[in-house]
Amino acid sequence: MELEKNYPILKACRFCPMCKHLCSSGNLTMHESDYPRGRGLIMFSIYRGEPANEDYINALYNCFMCGCCLAGCEGNFNLPELIKSAREDIVNLGLEPKAVKELKNNLLSNGNIYGVTPDKSFTLQNKKYAINDADVLYIAGPSVNYNHFEIAEAAVRFFDKTKIKFSIISDEPDCGKALSLLGYRSEAKAAAKRFYEKVSELKVKKLVSSDPMVVDCLLNDFKEFGFDINSLVSIMHFSEFAEVVAKESDLSFKKFSKKITIADSEFLCKKNNRCESARNIIKNIAGENFAELFRNRKEAYATGEAAFYQNGSTFRDGAALGKKICNDALKLDIKTIITMSGIAKENILAAAKGRFEVLDIAEFIFANFRFTL
Amino acid sequence: MQYDKDSYLFYMIMHELKDIVGEENVSVAKSDKVAYSVDYYWVSELWHDRGSKRTEPDFIVFPKNAEEISKIMILANEYKIPVTAWGGGGGSQGGALPVCNGIIVDMKRLNKVFDIDFESMTVEVETGMIVEHLEWELAKHDVSTMHFPASIYCSTVGGFIAHRGTGVLSTKYGKMEDMVISMEVVLPSGEIIKTLSVPKTASGIDLNWFFIGSEGVLGIITKVKLIIHKVPEVRKFQAFLFKDLESGLETGRRIMHEGLNPCIIRLYDEAETKSLIKRVLGINKEGIYLVYAFDGKEKIVDLQHEYAKKIALELHGEDLGTEMGEEWWLHRYKFFFPPYVFSLPQAFGTCDTVATYKDILKIYNGMKKTVETNYPQARFIGHFSHWFMWGCMLYARFIIDNPPEDPGEALHLYNKIWDDVLRSVLSNNGVLNEHHGIGIKIGRLMKEQYKNSFELLKNLKKQLDPNNIMNPGKMGLGF
């Protein structure tokens, strides 16, 4: 049982309600089973030998794996790790919901959860960017590569304008993050291996991605799988790379006069504490028009980057989170929301209904930097 | 009414509930039934830990306003089904557990802030809101309820009112009950009433007090107007170490009686200083740890500190400085997080009580003696943490590291300790509880506490709730 390996977390979380105020899923549905304590109770029931019924399984897949609970935990008990091990047990027993199996099949056959075939990906349609002697490797990440070409296009144009020699991988591999989060550990490891081998073949020094889940995967999951990608390349989110380039090249900015905010990425900001670069860029450009959506990082909830499946539906709660973010933005009279991932943009855009401009950080940067190189 | 869970009657009731609150706001999922069968009450945790049979609700509903709750009450009376309100599930007395099954009314969708009145310094809020979330809203305007209990992260406004919660700043700002201006309540009949617009009237009995501390047995509080305060200019701390409890208690009493108006006084006995204070704050000293604080305008606060320090030094306190007090403030909730909090397999009970200064030490000694003499397997610790002009509150705890494995046997031992400790408290002019409530945990002792006046409470309950649908089995009011 994978759950057993994380028993100290289970023991700590099963009766503890102290992160209730921070839980993105519980505070969305209000169901006690969608809070960490509820999940702990369910997992302990399973640990005690109670059969994992459909409701229990659904509740364990309802978690957004955002790590917001960790931000308030004095004992640093990593609940998402515990949930991941419970999902692995579910998968090992072949009990995962049908929709989750479909997501896995999409990931294995197409490299993305949406079921879009690789020939429709940005990278395959833009093979011309795949070169051999680049310093920088751009990884769009599944949500951008299959669903948000505009983000990849903005990134590519930024590289061009700043004369950065970059490459893409035309058949961009999946790093395995979504597989891992869904409980498919061996499949995730195999995907990570393929990704690692592809990157190893290239002579790049930096890997820049528009997808926080890719960044998190390379920084953390690869280490767990035994692939030392950090010694091959330095890993950055696009916003971090752009900040460095802007400083080194002394780029100036256009004036941005609308009230603007940022919806932080849970996989970049919450999980890896890498929240500053995008914020610095926006503040530099927008000045006093920048407003924080939350008073502090602890209060920020998920954008739904890993809200894959909830009670039989796929991506439903991601859209609900987008709606919640829009409501908070409305209170602050925000006009532009900057997102850090394709999924976050999608979730917020669905609820924005023309009331806000929703831009990925790459789009915002490309539109507002003055490229004088 | 008894109904088979597979019967068409069960589905008829479910249909009616869905009609009231909407399809997606009724749950009979096994995952929810588990989650609502355990709260912070040790026995419910024990039952879960041992894999014993759970007592679960039949339906969990998520209404959005008083009108929907009213309709649920009418339905529950028709079918004679128990209704139990659930806030955040952070109660330690089992007050929100559906011990007779039936309907759980989860209040968390009632989470709107209606109005912040900066002129009168009040906030009108729905009672399903987690208090930390309310504080986030208020903090945007530099105001606060000043209600800061450790359960602020998980408990709702209504939960605190129903169980008379107390926060760490209560000595100056009062308990939750002192913060209530007015409220909206759904009675067991389904009628929605409002209490008077302000308290402190001479316009008859204050109806607020029917429902404050009523633990959901007389109705469901749906909306409340609370007092708020400006965030103070400064809050300054000071810590001392005393050789004996008497000197510490006398220091606290004199700080109160000199009219110094502290926001915090907390005095830890030797056992708790040696264990929890050392573990959480890293203060490795023997003795009795005392921390106090004042807040407000800096000049006034400095003067208050000057007078308080003089009192503590006169009573031979060892000055630990401001830093050791600030450390306590920074880590004030850490005591309640794993791995610092007591947890299973340990058995633990928080027997908080309140009494006059004349009786409080007698009560402490009586509780300690009861535990240590009769239960050598148990430890006893305590601190005094909410101070009034006439007395103070004792937060005493017993802990057994290795209780019996058999849950029935463990429960029996647990309840025996509770009975003995609380009878000792009652015999010394103390009361059953100060800020956690009664619930299912100690309801059996209510009659001993209230004696013949308990009939008054029972009659009140009978009058308001003739079918006994509201949270049956709690507060000793019968099933």
| pLDDT tens string B406-465 | 999 999 999 999 999 999 999 999 999 999 999 999 999 999 999 999 999 999 999 999
What whole-number percentage of chain B has pLDDT above 90? 96
Minimum distance, in Å, between the CA of residue B311 and any CA atom of chain A: 35
Q: Cβ of B337 and A13 within 8 Å?
A: no
Residues in chain A with CB shorter than 8 Å from the CB of B109 are 30
Residues in chain B with CB shorter than 8 Å from the CB of A41 are 34-35, 38, 48
Give me the mean pLDDT over the B385-392 stretch: 97
H or E stretch at B171: helix B170-173
| pLDDT tens string B294-307 | 999 999 999 999 99
Task: Give the list of residues 6+ apart from residue B109 with CB closer than 8 angstroms, or none.
Answer: A30, B25, B62, B63, B64, B128
pLDDT at position A298 over 90? no
pLDDT at residue A301, rounded to an integer: 96
B339 upstream amide cis, omega within 30 of 0: yes
The DSSP annotation for A196-249 comes to: HHHHHHS--SEEEES-HHHHHIIIIIHHHHT--GGGT-EEEEHHHHHHHHHHHT
pLDDT at position B281 over 90? no
CA B465 to CA B460: how far, in whole Å?
A: 8
Confidence of residue B1 (pLDDT cuts 50, 70, 90): low
| pLDDT tens string B227-264 | 999 999 999 999 999 999 999 999 999 999 999 999 99
Angle (CA) B84 B85 B89, round 5°: 110
Residues in chain A with CB shorter than 8 Å from the CB of B130 are 20-21, 27
β-pairing verdict for A369-370 and A252-253: antiparallel
Residues in chain B with CB shorter than 8 Å from the CB of A15 are 38, 40, 45, 48, 343-344
| pLDDT tens string A149-173 | 999 999 999 999 999 999 999 999 9
| pLDDT tens string B309-329 | 999 999 999 999 999 999 999
The packing angle between helices A36-47 and A54-61, to 10°, is 140
Q: Cβ of B337 and A42 within 8 Å?
A: no
A16 forms bridges with which residues in the sheet?
A: none
Residue closest to A83 by CA, chosen among A28, A44, A27, A26:
A44
Minimum distance, in Å, between the CA of residue A41 and any CA atom of chain B: 7
Confidence of residue A373 (pLDDT cuts 50, 70, 90): low
The DSSP annotation for B205-247 comes to: S-THHHHTT-TTSS-EEEEEEEE-EEPPSEEEEEEEEESSHHH
Q: Cβ of B140 and A295 within 8 Å?
A: yes
Q: Cβ of B337 and A18 within 8 Å?
A: yes
What is the per-residue burial (b if ≥16 Cβ within 10 Å, else e) of B204-239? eebbbebbbbbbbbbbbbbbbbbbbbeebeebbbbb
Residues in chain B with CB shorter than 8 Å from the CB of A37 are 35, 89
CA B94 to CA B467: how far, in whole Å?
A: 21
Residues in chain A with CB shorter than 8 Å from the CB of B43 are none
CB atoms within 10 A of CB B427: 12
What whole-number percentage of chain A has pLDDT above 70? 100
Mutate to test the interface with B, among A21, A22, A28, A45 (most CBs of B within 10 A): A21
CB atoms within 10 A of CB B279: 14
pLDDT at position B155 over 80? yes
Q: Cβ of B338 and A77 within 8 Å?
A: yes
| pLDDT tens string A133-155 | 999 999 999 999 999 999 999 99
pLDDT at position A345 over 80? yes
Average pLDDT, chain B: 97
| pLDDT tens string B36-61 | 999 999 999 999 999 999 999 999 99
Q: Cβ of B89 and A17 within 8 Å?
A: yes
Q: Cβ of B35 and A41 within 8 Å?
A: yes
Confidence of residue B3 (pLDDT cuts 50, 70, 90): confident
Q: Cβ of A32 and B344 within 8 Å?
A: no
pLDDT at position A55 over 90? yes
CA A358 to CA A349: how far, in whole Å?
A: 6
Q: Cβ of B333 and A74 within 8 Å?
A: yes
What whole-number percentage of chain A has pLDDT above 90? 94
Give me the interface pTM, i.e. the ipTM. 0.96
State which amino acid sits at residue A119: D
* Residue B466 main-chain phi, psi, to 5 deg: -60, -30
Minimum distance, in Å, between the CA of residue B333 and any CA atom of chain A: 9
Minimum distance, in Å, between the CA of residue B27 and any CA atom of chain A: 9
Minimum distance, in Å, between the CA of residue A260 and any CA atom of chain B: 18
| pLDDT tens string B61-104 | 999 999 999 999 999 999 999 999 999 999 999 999 999 999 99
Q: Cβ of A17 and B151 within 8 Å?
A: yes
CA B432 to CA B436: how far, in whole Å?
A: 10
Minimum distance, in Å, between the CA of residue A212 and any CA atom of chain B: 28
pLDDT at residue B425, rounded to an integer: 98
State which amino acid sits at residue B87: G
Measure the N-to-C terminal CA separation of chain B; round to a whole number of Å. Answer: 13
Mutate to test the interface with A, among B23, B31, B92, B276 (most CBs of A within 10 A): B31
Minimum distance, in Å, between the CA of residue B156 and any CA atom of chain A: 10
Please state the pTM of the whole predicted model: 0.96
Query: Which residue of chain B comes nearest to A43, CA vs CA?
Result: B31
Minimum distance, in Å, between the CA of residue B75 and any CA atom of chain A: 22
Residues in chain A with CB shorter than 8 Å from the CB of B153 are 17-22, 72
Q: Cβ of A32 and B36 within 8 Å?
A: yes
Residues in chain B with CB shorter than 8 Å from the CB of A38 are 31-32, 34-35
DSSP state of B204: S
For residue B378, the SS3 value is strand
> Cβ(B232)–Cβ(B276) under 8 Å?
no
Q: Cβ of B30 and A53 within 8 Å?
A: yes
Give me the mean pLDDT over the A231-254 stretch: 95
B376 upstream amide cis, omega within 30 of 0: no
Residue closest to A58 by CA, chosen among A27, A81, A25:
A25
CB atoms within 10 A of CB B440: 22
Confidence of residue A372 (pLDDT cuts 50, 70, 90): confident
Task: Give the list of residues 6+ apart from residue B235 with CB closer than 8 angstroms, or none.
Answer: B263, B293, B294, B295, B301, B329
* Residue B92 main-chain phi, psi, to 5 deg: -100, 0
Q: Closest partner residue to B35 among A13, A33, A295, by Cβ?
A: A33
For residue B37, the SS3 value is coil
The packing angle between helices A36-47 and B42-49, to 10°, is 40
Q: Is B213 left (phi over 0), alpha (psi -120 to 50) or beta?
A: left
pLDDT at residue A296, rounded to an integer: 87
